[in-house]
Structures are given as structure tokens and as C-alpha cells.
Structure 1
Amino acid sequence: MNRDWRVLVIDDDFRVAGIHADVVRGTAGFTVLDSVRTIAEARDVIARDAPDLLLADVYLPDGDGIELVRAADVDAFVLSAADEPATVRRALHAGTLAYLVKPFSQRVLAERLDRYARFRRVVSGTRRLGQEKVDQALSIMHGSEEPASPSASATEQLMLDALGDGVLSASEVARLAGVSRATAQRRLAAMAGRGILEVRLRYGTSGRPEHLYARGNASGR
């Protein structure tokens, strides 16, 4: 799925909001829909423009960002200095996909956004999701590079499904399967070593040849 996820930033500190917006703009696959200071402004943008993801502070001038997340029916991260256990639990009960305690590094937010993009690639579309796909999506979003419950062979099956009858690079398989590039490279190499896949080379105009992976009966390209 090639699209940009549209993000609404909600923070009453314009400097902090600007930093968050810059991270969003600098992360592949994301665009900033708007940046607002209040819940009222956020509701207007949500109703008008239907963002894909909210980045919401807890303490806002006209109310509680967690209650906004609860009512909005939009994917959300909560970004707040509030670190009380009750507040974190309340945010999780409200449905937030990530809770980042301020101050945090820009790298941490960028990493969560990358996880969100991979998570959405797994759970988007109209096809039914089996348990392996559900576990894969949750593992991507919540920090494990490998799905928590399926076996390694199940992880490899997801990648074989993504590969199909094509001849693809590790990066292409990673994008289609919703896993990290490192995971894809490791699993593809392991399957090639066991003879499940064959490795081909694609030569560009310069640099090292790119490794491509295919099932034994896939046609070249």
C-alpha cells in the first residue's frame, strides 16, 4: 500500500508541536495534516479531514487529550509528561497505540511512526485476518520484531505469502509482509540456505548487485 498516513498534531506548546511535526515530515510515509492547540480545534479537523493518526498531549487548555482519543475513533499516540500509572492505564483503556513520556528523543517518535506504518500495512484492506496476522500486527506495534505467538515457520510463511510467484528483494518482501528489513533479510537468507528459496542477483549501474529471492518455480525478471 503506497500512501502517506496523515497525522494531526495536538499540543498547546507550539514549539513542542513544531518538533513533533518535523519528525512526522521527516519520516517516510507520513505527512502533517495540521497542528492545533485545543480539543475544539482538533475535533473540527477530525470531522472535516479524517486524519489517520493523532499525536495528542494529555493536558490541553480546554480539556483532556485522553478523552479526545477515546471519543475520536481515530488511531492515536499519547505524548505527555504525565507518567502516573493511572494516567497511562487510562490512555491504554482509551485505545492509544503508543504512550511516549516527555521528554523523549525524536528518534523514539520516528521509530514508533515506522512501526505504525508497518502495523497499518498488515491490518489494512478488506481481507480477513487470521490469528498469525493479528499477532504479527500487535508484535510490530508493541515492540517485538518477531510475532509473539507464531513459530518461526509461521513468520516465514507470511513472507512466502508476500513473495508469491514473484522475484523480490528483501526490502520489497519486508514492505509487503509488514516486517522490518532486517527480519526479512534474516528469514529469506535462512530459507535460501534450506533450499526453500533460490537467490538471484540484479545488477544495477553501479555498486554491489542486489540479492533477489524467488521460489524454485518462479520466473526470472
Structure 2
Amino acid sequence: MTLRVLVVDDDFRVAGLHRDIVADKAGFAVLDPVRSVADAVAAIRDQRPDLLLVDVYLPDGDGIELARTAGIDAFVLSAANDAATVRRALHAGALGYLVKPFEPRALTERLDRYARFRNLIGADRPLGQDELDRALAILHGVGDQSTASRSATEQLILETLGTTEASAAEIGELAGISRATAQRHLSALAARGVIDVRLRYGTTGRPEHRYAVSAPAR
């Protein structure tokens, strides 16, 4: 699944920086940034993004109100750091708030967590409470000790794999990372005994490596 992102910021330099951060992320596609509420409304209608990265102060209106009425996920990215504005953004349904200026990795980390969050709750199906709690914990960067020792990419791979069996290419596509990256982390996880490697033989060619989470020891 490729997540489409729309940047809404009236400063074209800042918008370009945020656009480039998104463009560098596997699993994301960034739309052309827009600089006003009116242009954002048109882009949402015509291009159907999955996520907004929206400033508060726009020439023709309020970015928080746009986030509230857009009907899609949104992060607010703003220089406004007063508690009232932050609370208003969260009350409007923003999934997160970043105070500008910020380091690129701050946005990158939130995009990583958002991709994992969407991977868990993206399908149109009933959710168990445990699954919902897990998705929200990932979105907000809350982890227990068992997951903290693993890299974010390894944890993403394990969550993507779940209880199924898949190839490195399939895992990469589902997780929004390259096949090479998936293969490298799968090999490391297999070496530590976290996952099992199985071979599936076809009619011709080399056998395909398949990966599954190791069963817990009894």
C-alpha cells in the first residue's frame, strides 16, 4: 500500500523541505504541495490523499479547521507552540503535532509510525481491543521492553509478517520498504532465531525462501 501525502504550507521553501522528506520515504507518494485552504480542498477532492501535513496559519483560513473537516488523517506542522493551539489541533482530530523548525528525522519517525499504524488498521474489518491498543501505541511511539531492543524496521517487518508466511519481496511490498532492506533484516532476525526460514520449491529455478515468525518455545 502506498500512502499519498499532501503538504499544505504557504511558505514554499518549508513546503519543499517537507515534500522532500516524504518523497525519500519508501511506501509514501507525495503530491504537489499547496499553499492555501482553497487549494488544499481542491487537491483533497481531486487527488484523495491519505494524510495531510498542514500548517496552522494559511492565507485564507485555518489549517486546524481544515484538518477537522477534511475527513482524512492529518499531522499539524506549525511554529505555533502555545498549549491552546496544540490542544485545539488534537481536539480537531490531528494524529500528531510537530513544532517548526524540527529535524528531518522527527518527521521521518512519525511517518514510519504512521505507516505501521495504517498497516494494522487500514483494512475495512472489525478490530480487537488488543489490536487497536497496539496500533495506537505504535502511532504515539509507546513500546514495551520487548520491542524497544529491536530496530523500528525489524519491528515493522515482524508486524507485517504476523502469523503468515511470506517472501522477502512480499514483506517489502506490504511494509513499504525495498526488497533488499527486507532481506537484510530478515536475515538478521533469522540468525537470532526470531523467525524461521523455509524453502518452497517450484517447477523450475532456485527454491524460494519463505519467512515465518518462530513459534515460542514450550
> With structure 1 as the length reference, what TM-score do the two structures score?
0.72
Letter in 1 for 2:82: E
Displacement of 1:49 in angstroms is 1.6
Per the alignment, residue 6 of structure 2 pairs with 8
Unaligned runs of 5+ in 1: 148-154, 203-209, 217-221
Contact kept? 2:161, 2:213, Cα under 8 Å: no
Distance 1:110 1:131 in 2: 28
Per the alignment, residue 45 of structure 1 pairs with 43
> Matched residue pairs, number?
189
Q: CA RMSD in A?
A: 3.6
Q: Are residues 185 and 98 of structure 1, via their aligned partners in 2, closer, same or farther at CA, if it must alter by over 3 Å?
A: farther
Deviation track 1:125-147 (CA, whole Å, cap 9, x = no partner) reads 12211011101110110012349
The answer on 1:60 being equivalent to 2:58 is yes
> With structure 2 as the length reference, what TM-score do the two structures score?
0.73
Distance 1:71 1:49 in 2: 16
Aligned to 1:79, the other structure's residue is in SS state strand
Distance 2:166 2:57 in 1: 50
Contact kept? 1:200, 1:211, Cα under 8 Å: yes
Deviation track 1:156-185 (CA, whole Å, cap 9, x = no partner) reads xx9698233x3667x949x67xxxx9xx99
Q: Are residues 69 and 7 of structure 1, via their aligned partners in 2, closer, same or farther at CA, if it must alter by over 3 Å?
A: same
Aligned to 1:95, the other structure's residue is in SS state coil
Aligned to 1:92, the other structure's residue is in SS state helix
Distance 1:141 1:159 in 2: 13
Per the alignment, residue 162 of structure 2 pairs with 162
Counterparts of residues 19-168 of structure 1 (less than 5 Å): 19-146=17-144, 162-164=162-164, 166=165
Letter in 2 for 1:45: A
More RCO (CA 8 Å, sep 6+): 2
Deviation track 1:184-213 (CA, whole Å, cap 9, x = no partner) reads 9999888x58xxx756699xxxxxxx9944
Letter in 2 for 1:93: H
Displacement of 1:24 in angstroms is 0.6
Letter in 1 for 2:12: F
**Displacement over 2 Å in runs of 4+:** 158-161, 166-169, 184-190, 197-202, 210-216
Distance 1:98 1:65 in 2: 14
Deviation track 1:9-34 (CA, whole Å, cap 9, x = no partner) reads 10000000000000010011111122
